[in-house]
Amino acid sequence: MPLAVQMRGICKRFGAVAANADVNLAVRAGTVHGIVGENGAGKSTLMSVLYGFYPADSGTVAVFGKEAQIHHANDAIALGIGMVHQHFMLVDTLSALDNVMLGAESHWLLEKAVAPVRAGLESLMQSTGLRVPLDTRVADLAVGDRQRLEILKALYRGARILILDEPTAVLTPQETLQLFDVLRQLRAQGTTVILITHKLKEVMALCDQVTVMRGGRVVEEVPIAQASVEGLAQAMVGRKVQLGRPVDAPSGERPSTQNALLQARALRLHDAMGVLRLQHIELDLFPGEIVGVAGVAGNGQSELLDVLCGLRKPDSGSLAVGGQQFAPPGWLDPHRARALGLAHVPEDRRARALVMDFAAWESAVLGYEHTAQNCQGPWLRRRAMQAATAALMEQFDVRPRNMRLKSSKFSGGNQQKLVLARELGEAPSVLLVGQPTRGVDIGAIEFIYAQLRALRDAGGAVLLVSSELDEILALSDRVLVVNQGRITGALPIGECTEARLGLLMAGSAA
């Protein structure tokens, strides 16, 4: 097949850091080409050079066999290159249609520009299967619809080469399957897709060829027929990686003599729109166990975490934690939860766990700033906070080791490790954690798994909410399955299979 993209000798430095060092990449036309590597491996930088976000310090780029000068994104778009970023580039207050038209208006009178854009998008949606309600505000669209809109926007502007940066990081499993169907259809129609991802199973399921990067260099390039998840993981990290369930892991059977560290009874919750989200939820967390919560997104898992950590007050029910009892209206609040040894790692680290403009040391004390080690009377002990953050960054391998760097400047995996460092650094007895490895690379996943197991082995209890069944099966000692706000199954890990959990998640008897 002819080459859609050929990059030769690409070098890109940021100060002393060589993000790309003499990188060569060849992508065949009409294929899906995966680029994998840990955070900081240089994947996104390389694609940003191709898309014109960064100028290369040296090297050449050819597009469909012709050498190209790409100085900014407009040059890339003119060459038929489109890019969908991990964090969507959309204006929330505008409609889906307006977002596509923005910057590509065909007439100075907007009223006359709308009709051809609408017609073009309708045609694209018909041919690709990418359906989006065009007159809906972006703020009101589901995450999957926003991503489809980004792809439509790129295709509308003539993209024949489509770069997707971590496209499934924020999607449900069902949305991921829908996206893959679309990408296969685009490939069949001749579109070239470059997929940047951490998820090796997705690479194996979708890609034709895969390039592995480590430390800014290409370390392996292989047809997918000759690749394996284990081999790719080892190439990414430079050593063997253990992500599955350890051979000597417990079977999930709990001694009957233990007392629960957290006990919830008959929890019931309606949301602000009056929709019933939790129905008669009952659960116990015991010392020395990880309890996984499996379910299709939107079935009450997020609301359950919010209720247990004190961010939401249920309509009814009770909660016992740290030797204290709570019931509405006198429900637990997050400050009280922390004092009782209950920590929480939210599902969305950017929106709910970190303040992006805060320095790392400030984010590392959020919620704990009034503890004895962090304040003296009304005064914050900044030096003590910074010293503690430096120690946590070392212990949890947060990179770079720069406590004054803004939280927004860290990669997703290092942001997640910073949040875990903050919550686990206080040695909680109970940890509530949502989507612990969303958008996180292989090496960081292995590290996070080790930290959760260490808390369990020290006698703590972990409630784990994850959309990844592999993760649930690798970490959990017991599994609860939720469907439409109810617990539809509770199984020791020894009785769990993907098929059985899938049936329970769908509301069927396993």
Residues 226 and 295 in one domain: no
Q: Would you give per-residue pLDDT tens digits along the chain (510 residues)? A: 799 999 999 999 988 889 999 999 999 999 999 999 987 789 999 999 999 999 999 999 999 999 999 999 999 999 999 999 877 889 999 999 999 988 777 666 667 778 889 999 999 999 988 899 999 999 998 888 998 999 999 999 999 999 999 888 767 667 788 889 999 999 999 999 999 987 898 899 999 999 999 999 999 999 999 999 999 999 998 988 877 777 666 655 655 557 999 999 999 999 988 999 999 999 999 999 999 999 887 889 999 999 999 999 999 999 999 999 999 999 999 999 999 999 999 998 988 999 999 999 999 999 999 888 889 888 999 999 999 999 999 999 898 899 999 999 887 888 999 999 999 999 999 999 999 988 777 888 889 999 999 999 999 999 999 988 889 999 999 999 999 999 999 999 999 988 888 888 877 765
Residues 279 and 217 in one domain: no
Residues 406 and 437 in one domain: no
- 26: domain CATH number is 3.40.50.300
Residues 367 and 249 in one domain: no
> Residue 89 contacts by C-beta under 8 Å, 6 or more apart in sequence?
150
Indicate the number of domains in the chain. Answer: 3
Query: pTM above 0.95?
Result: no
Residues 413-449, buried b or exposed e (16+ Cβ, 10 A)?
Answer: bbbbbbbbbbbbbeebbbbbbbbbbbbbbbbbbbbbb
Q: Helix or strand or coil: residue 21?
A: strand
pLDDT for the residue 240: 86
Residues 398 and 324 in one domain: no
Six-digit token pair at 182?
């679309």
Which candidate, 434, 456, 462, places its Cα nearest to that of 262?
462
Residues 100 and 186 in one domain: yes
Residues 92 and 150 in one domain: yes
How many C-beta atoms surround the C-beta of residue 19 within 10 A? 23
How many C-beta atoms surround the C-beta of residue 71 within 10 A? 9
| Type of residue numbered 152 | L
Picking from 376, 406, 426, the residue at the C-terminal end of a domain is: 426
Rounded Cα distance between 196 and 36, Å, is 6
pLDDT for the residue 247: 65
Picking from 192, 213, 237, the residue at the C-terminal end of a domain is: 237
pLDDT for the residue 123: 93
Residues 331 and 454 in one domain: yes
Residues 135 and 207 in one domain: yes
Half-sphere exposure for 429 (CA within 13 Å, toward CB):
15
> Residue 151 contacts by C-beta under 8 Å, 6 or more apart in sequence?
82, 84, 130, 162, 164, 182
Which candidate, 157, 167, 203, 212, places its Cα nearest to that of 46?
212
Residues 305 and 408 in one domain: no
Residues 197 and 74 in one domain: yes
Picking from 384, 409, 426, the residue at the C-terminal end of a domain is: 426
Residues 284 and 139 in one domain: no
The domain in which residue 379 lies consists of 350-426
Q: Helix or strand or coil: residue 165?
A: strand
Instruction: Write down the H helix ranges in 321-441.
Output: 334-339, 360-363, 382-395, 412-424
Peptide bond into 329 cis (omega under 30): yes
pLDDT for the residue 166: 85
pLDDT for the residue 390: 95
Rounded Cα distance between 347 and 434, Å, is 4
